[in-house]
Structure 1
Amino acid sequence: MTENTTTPPEGPRVFPCGGCGARLEFAPGTERMLCPYCGHTDEVAAPERRIREHKVQDLFRRTPMADLVPHELVCQGCGAHLQSDQLAHNCQFCASPLVIDPASEDVVPPEAVLPFAVDRSGARGALASWTRTRWFAPNSLKKVGEAERLKSTYLPHWTFDAATASDYKGQRGEYYYVTETYTTQENGKTVTKTRQVRKTRWYPASGRVSRDFDDVLVNATTRLSPERVTALEPWDLKQARPFTHAYLAGHEALRYDMEPEEGLDRAKGIMAKQIDKDCRRDIGGDEQRVHSVSTRYSDVTGKLMLLPVWAGAYLHGGKSYQMVINGQTGEVQGERPYSAVKIAFAVLAMLAVVALLVYIYLQG
């Protein structure tokens, strides 16, 4: 299937159904577009190119996202005039899939997309399984298997590659043991005993470690909780496809609101944690201290990638709890209620076990 290129420049990309003329949507877990009305399908037209890495300087030259204004759109389904700050969503009047062409703006366009593998039914099943396995949750939570406002949304992420060389200074600690003499009271008598005490002898250490980083992932939107989105990892980025608008049809897609410069700074923070581990491994010994690290970066490249997430909320006890689901693996992260009764019983049981152990010890 080829993308419709007759749409006016201001209009969204549309994918007309060859069976009934409605709008096709990307079907998760497949490589096909599906008509939700007549069931007609077409294959997603794969771009004739590979996923490319871009020099970060080229990413930095783009217009800052904060300087852009919302898109002015005309829905091709019902003719409604809309404003949008997203790359893809559905028309609020006729539900037609709307996909913006990011190449129409001087911002960083998506280079790759990780298509949805989990469909709506699979997302509901993942939520039901998650609620059934929450410790200290009310028993009634196990009956929750449906989410409200559940939306399939592509989230923007930066990925960065870099070759690093790091010079470090620190100390290597090696254990040794000394015999100490001490006294204790046993049956009213003073008894002299000995024990082995571990100590550490420190030696200066310095050196250089090198590592090539590939696809260091940084969440590029603050629209959802960054901590919760990060908790959805890992992602199998090898399953990513070169970006094409068809994967977004029928789903939402957010634009990034973290500029690539900040994204690279955060990626370097992620790299620094691994470099610290490399330094400690290089130092060796039983313990390590790293006092300073100086890292040089070369061949730094990056790209914008869209990752699939089901986002929504579920109701329990009259309260709404937010949750997100990894659209590739079904991993669920979210808010959950706690049962005060179960927690109280657990604390009492723990105290009972401690009391029993103390009683056994005193009797012995």
Structure 2
Amino acid sequence: MTQSQYPCANCGANVEFAPGTTVLKCPYCGAETPLVPTGRQIREHSYTEFAGLPRKPIAALAPYTFTCKGCGAITQSDKISERCQFCGAPLVADVSDTDQVVPEAVLPFGVDRPALREALKKWVASRWFAPNGLKKVTEAESSHSTYLPHWTYDASTVSRYSGQRGEHYWVTETYTDNGETKTRQVQRTRWYPAGGTVARDFDDVLITGTTRVTAKYLDQLEPWPLPAAEPYRPEYLAGHETLRYDVEPETGLGAAKARMAPVIEGDCRADIGGDEQRVDEVRTQYDNLTFKLMLLPVWIACYLHAGRTYNIMVNGRTGEVAGERPYSAAKIAAAVTAAVLLIAAIVVLIVLDKRSS
């Protein structure tokens, strides 16, 4: 396996990609190396052609073997990029000659450590009833920058559906109330068979390509500015951790179709019209199906409280924060006590007011 390390032209140390810039920066002398555009374009790949190619499942691939050019240490890892465990030098694997799908695009980090601290401070400040120790997650040492693999899928869909259209009408109903006969208007629905065809184009349906992070919180980091993505180049990974995908493209496609399904059903309901709709069956044909693998930037912070680890994630482009948080029993008890005292004080004031009047 080949790998990449990028020495500083000024001092010889390893440079890293600086978030929010287009340069590789030396963490020691501060020298910058601009990233010269390569002219390469982001491409969508035909899923039909890909499905016919022989390849190994990602779980069957061996880990990468990194040989640090700085200290000479040899380590193995299933990550595309990380730091040397002994000297901290950034290491990036060359994935072009492996049996896995090669990343096509990368959304470079835009949030640096100072911006990360500010995002975490705002998030912590908005967490009511959180223990005071939660403030520790704002420390830079508790977080690391990670590129997470994602699949995107494009498709032109044509869906044939069958269902029913409901149209409301009103009838006069007679009823008895305390011995008195009254009338009222009651809504009824008359149903008619319906069927038709709808079409929709989907672009960049985003599916997480790793099971090593909590999908619920990762979804909360959306939306991602995908149009700002750059063609993949290993320099963007230098100094940052990059996970290798463990969700196969076929599995990702199934998840993408599941995300398309409610949108298509909404189109069917709109096409049926009427006051209410029932969709009984939808048969969808997927044409021009393409996909790509892209890397999205996430800051991951860990926080230990009462023997449990909580994970917090920050969108590396927008600063959006999502994650777990502990609750402070003392703060909750204090709030409940304060609420009870406030209610008691209001009751006393009301009683005193009535007595004085």
Given that residues 137 and 302 in structure 2 are in contact (C-alpha distance below 8 angstroms), is that contact kept between their aligned partners in structure 1? Answer: no
- How many Å apart are 1:137 and its aligned residue? 3.4
1:52 pairs with 43, 55, 61, which one?
Answer: 43
What is aligned with 1:5?
none
Residue 41 in structure 1 maps to residue 32 in structure 2? yes
Give the secondary-structure state (helix, strand or coil) at the position aligned to 1:121.
Answer: helix
- How many Å apart are 1:316 and its aligned residue? 4.8
Larger mean Cα displacement after TM superposition, 64-73 or 33-42:
64-73
Given that residues 148 and 313 in structure 1 are in contact (C-alpha distance below 8 angstroms), is that contact kept between their aligned partners in structure 2? Answer: no
2:61 pairs with 59, 65, 68, which one?
Answer: 68
Query: Superposition pairs for residues 157-306 of structure 1, below 5 Å?
Result: 157-185=150-178, 190-306=179-295
What is aligned with 2:300?
311
Residue 155 in structure 1 maps to residue 148 in structure 2? yes
Alpha-carbon distance in structure 2 between the residues aligned to 1:43 and 1:141: 38
- How many Å apart are 1:178 and its aligned residue? 1.9
1:32 pairs with 3, 6, 23, which one?
Answer: 23
Alpha-carbon distance in structure 2 between the residues aligned to 1:68 and 1:281: 47
Residue 238 of structure 2 aligns with an amino acid whose one-letter code is A
| Distance verdict in 2 for CA 1:144–1:73, change over 3 Å | closer
1:81 pairs with 59, 74, 85, which one?
Answer: 74
Contiguous gaps of at least 5 residues in structure 2: 348-357
Root-mean-square deviation over aligned CA pairs: 2.3
Alpha-carbon distance in structure 2 between the residues aligned to 1:267 and 1:257: 16
Alpha-carbon distance in structure 1 between the residues aligned to 2:141 and 2:299: 11
Residue 83 of structure 2 aligns with an amino acid whose one-letter code is N
| Distance verdict in 2 for CA 1:202–1:283, change over 3 Å | same
Alpha-carbon distance in structure 2 between the residues aligned to 1:291 and 1:348: 54
Given that residues 12 and 75 in structure 1 are in contact (C-alpha distance below 8 angstroms), is that contact kept between their aligned partners in structure 2? Answer: no
| Distance verdict in 2 for CA 1:97–1:279, change over 3 Å | same
Give per-residue Cα distances to partners, 1:195-224, cap 9 Å, x unaligned: 222221111110000011111111010011
| Distance verdict in 2 for CA 1:349–1:59, change over 3 Å | farther
Residue 118 of structure 2 aligns with an amino acid whose one-letter code is G
Residue 331 in structure 1 maps to residue 324 in structure 2? no
What is aligned with 1:362?
none
- How many Å apart are 1:73 and its aligned residue? 1.9
Given that residues 180 and 194 in structure 1 are in contact (C-alpha distance below 8 angstroms), is that contact kept between their aligned partners in structure 2? Answer: yes
Give per-residue Cα distances to partners, 1:102-145, cap 9 Å, x unaligned: 10202110000000111122122211111111244356656863
- How many Å apart are 1:258 and its aligned residue? 0.8
Alpha-carbon distance in structure 2 between the residues aligned to 1:148 and 1:50: 36
Alpha-carbon distance in structure 1 between the residues aligned to 2:274 and 2:22: 52
1:112 pairs with 71, 82, 105, which one?
Answer: 105
Larger mean Cα displacement after TM superposition, 161-170 or 314-323:
314-323
What is aligned with 2:126?
133
Residue 70 of structure 1 aligns with an amino acid whose one-letter code is P
| Distance verdict in 2 for CA 1:68–1:319, change over 3 Å | closer
* TM value normalised by structure 1: 0.87
Alpha-carbon distance in structure 1 between the residues aligned to 2:266 and 2:328: 40
Given that residues 111 and 304 in structure 1 are in contact (C-alpha distance below 8 angstroms), is that contact kept between their aligned partners in structure 2? Answer: yes
What is aligned with 1:19?
10
Residue 92 of structure 1 aligns with an amino acid whose one-letter code is Q
Percent identity between matched residues is 57
Larger mean Cα displacement after TM superposition, 60-69 or 341-350:
341-350
Number of residue pairs matched? Answer: 339
Give the secondary-structure state (helix, strand or coil) at the position aligned to 1:295.
Answer: strand
| Distance verdict in 2 for CA 1:143–1:95, change over 3 Å | closer
* TM value normalised by structure 2: 0.88
- How many Å apart are 1:315 and its aligned residue? 4.3
Give per-residue Cα distances to partners, 1:322-359, cap 9 Å, x unaligned: 11111111111111122446667579979x8xxx9xxx
| Distance verdict in 2 for CA 1:184–1:137, change over 3 Å | farther
